[in-house]
Amino acid sequence: MDEIFGIPAPLLFGQLLLGLINGAFYALLSLGLAVIFGMLNVINFTHGAQFMLGAFVAWAMLNFLGLGYWWALLLAPIVVGLFGVLLERTMISKLYKLDHLYGLLLTFGVGLIIEGLVRNEFGSSGLPYRIPPELSGAWDLGFMFMPVYRGWVVIVALVACIATWLVIERTRIGSYLRAATENPALVQAFGINVPRMMTLTYGAGVALAAFAGVLAAPIYSVNPQMGSNLIIIVFAVVVIGGMGSILGSVLTGFGLGIVEGLTKVFYPEASATVIFVVMAIVLLLRPAGLFGRA
Amino acid sequence: MAAPGGFSGSDFKAEETVFLGFTRTQLIAFLVMVAVIAVSPFFLYPVFLMKVLCFALFACAFNLLIGYVGLLSFGHAAYFGMGGYLAGHAAKVWGFTPEIAVLIGGAVGALLGLVIGWIAIRRQGIYFAMITLAFAQMVYFFCVQAAFTGGEDGIQAIPRGNLFGVIPLSADITMYWVTAAVFLLGFLFIHRTIHSPFGMVLKSIRENEPRATSLGYRTDDYKLVAFVLSAMLSGVAGGIKSIVFGIATLTDVFWTMSGEVVLMSLVGGLGTIFGPVVGAAVIITMQNYLAEFGAWVTVIQGVIFVLCVLAFRRGIVGEIGNWLRVRL
């Protein structure tokens, strides 16, 4: 099994793995966007900046406090999530009664502020973040070498996605959330504090983005632009999948990562644009998105 | 039902129009604007003023969509940047005269707007914003790879050439008058569009699309035409900018440029005719004075975004209009 369709097998599997990893980040980020959008009706343009912030908090914890990767994986989402809670309480919540587009403009502005501040502090070039020793090295899978950390990212992202799905579909608080997404006024009438749920939902979505940021820190270099470059692709992923379904976002995220990886093997020139082309095709054939409700 | 706090201008009693579809107040404001454009090159640096005019036209073109159709495009850099690239290429490599080059820029903007708009108008609201942003990023990646754009270097040393093949534009002041003329033509074109029967249908779509549909209007066709017009004028603005500065780069197609044009319109006042012009002047002036502070410009732009959305949604011109109880 040295060649598949005339392509050397290690190259094909290597790109497939890279695609799967990118897909893991698409899935985690689009999942957070979908959860926030479902509850708040706000498309969170700060999501990319919050992802980047997660990576930077991890870097700062290591370099200023001596707290390693495992602490960062736990604490960075909490720190950034609390920041999200603050943001929702002080600003975003003032806009619910207005046109939804104002929420978009506000979060875009906050994203610019965060990105600019981080660039002022740390510069535009990337900062290195070492792979934790427990996860360095590679497994020999027989047909290819698999860096342990990359496998870890895919597995953890999958677990995080499934856990989010379980919380929303199988727990009491998740049922409140789904009900409040359908009809907030009615749920409020039953005595559930809907504004607080919105705050917590936003905080959780932001924490998910920061969690993805920590996972990304050892793979991509930690730099101020890492979020904005990624989030525009994630917006396309969200348009393709539709924001109606949790599993839909996860499947679309991983699927498009793989499509991108395969494009790198067979037609590298198009690898940067293939997701946007898929978006155009989906919009022509199924405007509501693959899993969306019209 | 009109969305509360939507992007519409203030609702004041319609004043009579006196000239070219201007109301009396608008006509006065327009004459003031023309006077400022005519006098300012004698006091201020013409190259700076030309930059303001290019971005003012760009912002006016953007505002045609958000202010009068209610469509938030987050990817207008694509039309502006591609218009700039093609105009620059036409002037430098193909050797066209500047007016033809700018027209080519406009045509490219329109063509790109037709393709992207045709797909994007299938969705509304925030999806529309995300789709236009994504397509603009696709155009950006195309420009990074394509040979004629010069990649990271951009197209440099674009000649200003001779207008109609006879009037040399190398002097800044001559170039300024041409830029001013292009801006005023574009401005009047947008004004005329808004106040035509076609523009009335656009506004009805902004206020209540289902009702416009039920009255028998094919709202998608109207939205697409508005989108193409807006993209065309953005292309013209990008084209004239390339001719003025002799350079077309990736900055003009990047998503930050799309954000800047949103900011200009927001600061000046969404859905006002003069707002984008004032907004462009404010933002360009700010960038000019803060250029040495590097990334702080981004931070300050973000802060202005947040302040405008939270406390200043009418923008400068919108607030003045509200204060004077007139539509500006």
pLDDT digits over A85-96, tens only?
999 999 998 888
Q: Provide CB contacts within 8 A for B102, sequence distance 6+.
A: B87, B182, B236, B239, B240, B243
Looking at residue A23, its pLDDT comes to 93
Contact A24, A257 (CB under 8 A): yes
Mean pLDDT for B173-201 is 93
A232 in B contact zone (CB under 8 Å): yes
Chain B residues in contact with A277 by the CB 8 A cut-off are: 138
Mean pLDDT calculated for residue range B165-186: 89
Contact yes or no for B133 and A235 at CB 8 A: yes
Residue B147 has a pLDDT of 85
Say if domain B17-324 classifies as CATH 1.10.8. Answer: no
- Rounded to 10 deg, the angle between the B315-324 and B275-290 helix axes is 140
pLDDT at residue A110, as a whole number: 95
Q: Are A23 and A254 in contact (CB under 8 A)?
A: yes
Residue B240 banded pLDDT, cuts 50, 70, 90:
very high
Contacts of A117 in chain B (CB under 8 A): 295, 299
Whether ipTM > 0.85 holds is yes
Write down the pLDDT at residue A131: 87
Q: What is the pLDDT of residues B34-74, one digit of tens each?
A: 999 999 998 889 999 999 999 999 999 999 999 999 899 99
Yes or no, beta carbons of A276 and B138 under 8 Å apart: yes
Tell me: the pLDDT tens digits for A206-240? 999 999 999 999 988 899 989 988 999 999 998 89
In a mutagenesis test of the A interface, which of B62, B257, B298 is the best target, namely the one with the most A β-carbons within 10 Å?
B298
pLDDT tens, A135-168?
A: 888 887 777 778 889 889 999 999 999 999 999 8
List of chain B residues whose C-beta atoms are within 8 Å of the C-beta of residue A120: 294-296, 299
Banded pLDDT at B3 (limits 50, 70, 90): very low
Of B125, B305, B313, the CB nearest to A112: B305
Chain A residue with CA closest to B146: the answer is A269
Closest chain B residue to the Cα of A44, Cα to Cα: B126
What is the Cα–Cα distance from B89 to A173, expressed in whole angstroms? 59
Q: Could you report the per-residue pLDDT of A170-202, keeping only the tens digit for each? A: 999 889 988 888 888 899 899 888 899 999 999
Cα separation of B62 and B54, whole Å?
13
Average pLDDT of A33-56?
91
Mean pLDDT of B88-98: 90
The string of pLDDT tens digits covering residues A255-290 is 999 999 999 888 888 888 899 999 999 988 888 888
CA distance A208 to A53: 12
Contact B134 A277 (CB under 8 A): no
**Which range is least confidently modeled, A50-54, A106-110, A233-237, B123-127?**
B123-127
Q: How close is the nearest chain B Cα to the Cα of A138, in Å?
A: 33
Residue A105 pLDDT class (50, 70, 90 cuts):
very high
pLDDT at B277 over 80: yes
| DSSP string across B35-100 | HHHHHGGGTS-HHHHHHHHHHHHHHHHHHHHHHHT----S-THHHHHHHHHHHHHHHHTS---HHH
Q: Do A279 and B134 touch (CB under 8 A)?
A: yes
The arithmetic mean of pLDDT across residues B194-203, rounded, is 91
Quick: pLDDT tens for B5-31: 445 554 555 667 777 778 888 898 999
* Residues of chain B found within 8 Å of residue A101, distances taken between Cβ atoms: 7, 72, 125-126, 129
Residue A40's pLDDT band (cuts 50, 70, 90): confident
Task: Closest CB to A104: pick one of B129, B145, B299.
Answer: B129
- List the single residue in A94, A116, A228 with the smallest CB-CB distance to B310: A94
User: Looking at CA atoms only, how far is residue B98 from chain A in angstroms?
Assistant: 32
Domain locations along chain B: 17-324
With an 8 Å Cβ cutoff, is A281 touching chain B? no
pLDDT reported for residue B5: 43
Q: What is the pLDDT of residue B1?
A: 31
Option in A99, A116, A238 nearest B6 (CB) = A99
pLDDT at residue B188 tops 90: yes
Q: Measure CB to CB from residue A105 to each of B123, B138, B262 and give the nearest one.
A: B262
Chain B environment of A280 (Cβ under 8 Å): 119, 135
A chain contacts of residue B143, beta-carbon cutoff 8 Å: none
E strand intervals along chain A: 3-4, 7-8, 138-140, 145-147
A94/B306 CB distance under 8 A: no
Say yes or no for a CB contact (<8 Å) between A283 and B304.
no
Q: Are A164 and A246 in contact (CB under 8 A)?
A: yes
